[in-house]
Amino acid sequence: MTKAIFTWSGGKDSALALYKIQQRDDIEVVALLTTLNKEFKRISMHGVREKLLDKQAESLGIPLIKMWVEQDSYDEYEQKMKQLLLETKVSGSNPSYLWRYLSRGS
């Protein structure tokens, strides 16, 4: 079974995609990854508050990885994402698998 980290935005499309992936027998979602804005303490994508994000992850029963970035700092985002990908490869997860899966529209 492929272990994967799922990028979680806190929105309905993210929830639907997670549901579809969880229906498969060949993928185990081992963590949710969310990017949060340091200044506002909200999810960068939808502005969901950190408290609600924590409740979402808790109710799903999936560990949450929070990646904090400054507003409008793509370089920081890219650097932190690369580091995270390296760390997760060492732990046996394959976050790139979900990107390929979702881009095919499966």
Q: What local confidence, expressed as pLDDT, does residue 70 receive?
A: 79
Q: How confident is the model at residue 102 (pLDDT cuts 50, 70, 90)?
A: very low
For residues 34-44, give the mean pLDDT: 84
Residue 104 lies in a domain: no
Q: What local confidence, expressed as pLDDT, does residue 22 receive?
A: 93
Within 8 A by CB and 6+ apart from 84, the residues are 33, 65, 67, 95
Pairing of strands 27-37, 2-7: parallel
**Residue 91, pLDDT above cutoff 90:** no
Residue 11 lies in a domain: yes
Residue 106 lies in a domain: no
Q: How confident is the model at residue 52 (pLDDT cuts 50, 70, 90)?
A: very high
Residue 84 lies in a domain: yes
Q: What local confidence, expressed as pLDDT, does residue 51 receive?
A: 95
Flag whether the pTM goes above 0.85: no
| Both structure tokens of 24 | 């498969």
Task: Tell me which residue range forms the domain holding 7.
Answer: 2-99
Number of domains in the chain: 1
